[in-house]
Each structure stands twice: as C-alpha cells, then as structure tokens.
Structure 1
Amino acid sequence: MKMRKLHLGVWLLFTIAFASVSCEKEKIVGTDDLPATGSTFLKEHFNNVTVLSVTKEKEGFSGTEYKVLLDNRTEVKFDKNGNWKDVDGANNIAIPTTFILPVIVDYVTEKYPNADFNSIEKDNGNFDVELTNELELVFNSQGDFLRIDP
C-alpha cells in the first residue's frame, strides 16, 4: 500500500512538473522588446514592410521565441537572442533572399528559375526551403543540396 501511494505521489509530481514546463506562455510585446539582432534583421531584409505584431513565447525547455507578423503576411520567428529561425511567406508569397546563403540561392535560381523562395527554416543544422511552386528542398548548414522532401 505504501509503495502504491509512493508511485502515485511520484506520478502526480511528474505530471504537475511536466504540465508547468510544457505550457506555452505567449504575450504580445512591442517591437522594442525584440532583441537588437532581430530588429536589425528586419531593418536589413524587410525595410519597406510594416510590423503588425510581435509575440513573445516562453516554451518549456526550448526557451523564448519571438514571432513577428508583417503587413505582407510574412511571419518571422527569432530565438531568444534575435537570430532568425524561420521566415514564412503566406500563400506562396515570395520572401527576400538577402539573408539566405548565396549557395542556396544560386542552386534554386539555376534549378528552378520560375520559382521563388516561399519559406526557409533552420532545422537541426539544416535549412528547409519551400518554393512558391510548393517544392520542398533540404540543404545542409553549408548550403549543399541534400534532398527533395516529399
């Protein structure tokens, strides 16, 4: 009986701890709350686009993330230091390529001259790219083409 109560207590404690860590805490913040690196990124690569909102999320073990929604319906995600993680243009809207590794831009321009970049995400050391023709490509951290994702 004591062992059963102990197991129940441990399980309950684990459940409460997991729930409190995994709960997303999201709040709208001002553009001034975005780390300087993120602000600079937006000024350099989205200079003529207006920021509609900045959301700060605290996500358990993965830390803080910022989501910026622009008036052209592009969403940019930054890590806690303001480094971009994901740039996503809505509904096949082309995104700028000025921040993308030139070798990736050159590859896409050569192989898919009629397509633009719709999104790019840093994912486990790779770059996941979606083109406006809905093709999904994966490149390594140096920009070498790895594969087409189905």
Structure 2
Amino acid sequence: MKKFLFLALAALTLGSYTACADNDRPISVDQLPQKAQQFIKQHFPKEKIAFAKQERDFMEITYEVVFTSSSKVEFTKDGNWKEVDCKYSTVPVAIIPAQIKNYVSQHYPDTSVVQIDRDKRDYEVKLTNGLELTFDLKFNLIDIDD
C-alpha cells in the first residue's frame, strides 16, 4: 500500500511539474535580449514583427519572434540565434556559416537555404528543393534527408 501511495504521489507531482513547464508568454521586442534585438535589426531590418514570446521549458528559456511574412527566428536565453525559418523567402546569407554556404553553392547551385537550425551537436539546413542537410560542428556533411 505504501508503494502505491508513493507512486501515486510521484505521478501527481510529476504531472503538476510538467503542466507548469510549458509556460509561453507574449513579450514586446524590447524585452528580448540585446543580442537578439541587434540580430533582428541587422538581418531583418524591413520585416515587421507580428509577435514575440518567451518560452519556458523546464530549466530552459528561449525566445521566438514571428514576422508578418511568416518567417520566424528562435533565440537562446543569451540572445544567440537558434533557428531561422523563412517560409516564403530565403535565410539571409550573412547568417549562414561560410563552409555551409560554399557546400550548398557547389553541390546545389540552383537552390537557396530556407531554414537553418543549430544546436550543441550540429547544423541542419533546409533547401528550396526540399533537401535537408545536416553538418557537424566542424561543418562536415553528416546526413542528407529528402
């Protein structure tokens, strides 16, 4: 009986914690980290911002900015870009690391990058032809997905 009560209490506690973990709240652009604000001004100067929000997942805080063109940028808590997704346009060339830019232009000259995502392990790049390329942190191609 004690085991059952302990398991029930543990499940209830975990359920309550999980319910509180997904905590998104709208914010104004000036509440973004300074680095994120500068990134937007530099790479998306003509875009109008539809909304910005802060996302809290367990111990991680991230920020998301969505433009009226449906493009979006996700930032880490420090204001470094995490993902740039340009649904109806292309990712600004200055954002793409030179090694990835060179690889794409050499192997897929008629395509452009529409999404780039980076994390602690790799870079994922989506091209206009639908291919998704994955590079390690040393910019070696490690996967191609269509």
TM over 0.5: yes
**Structure 1 vs Structure 2 CA RMSD:** 1.7
> Quick one: which amino acid aligns to residue 101 of structure 1?
P
Distance 1:2 1:68, change over 3 A: closer
> Residue 115 of structure 1 aligns to a residue in which SS?
coil
Q: What is the TM-score when the length of structure 1 is the normalising length?
A: 0.87
> Quick one: which amino acid aligns to residue 120 of structure 1?
I
Structure 2 unaligned regions, length at least 5: none
Deviation at 1:68, TM superposition (A): 0.5
Name the CA distance, whole Å, in 2 between partners of 1:32 and 1:143.
34
> Quick one: which amino acid aligns to residue 36 of structure 1?
Q
Q: Is residue 2:85 matched to residue 1:122?
A: no
99-108 vs 2-11, which moves further? 2-11
Count of equivalent residues: 146
Deviation at 1:100, TM superposition (A): 1.4
Name the CA distance, whole Å, in 2 between partners of 1:140 and 1:97.
19
Name the counterpart of 2:11.
11
Q: Is residue 2:141 matched to residue 1:131?
A: no
Name the counterpart of 1:31.
29
Name the counterpart of 2:75.
78
> Quick one: which amino acid aligns to residue 70 of structure 2?
R
Q: What is the TM-score when the length of structure 2 is the normalising length?
A: 0.89
> Residue 142 of structure 1 aligns to a residue in which SS?
coil
Structure 1 unaligned regions, length at least 5: none
| Identity across the alignment (%) | 29
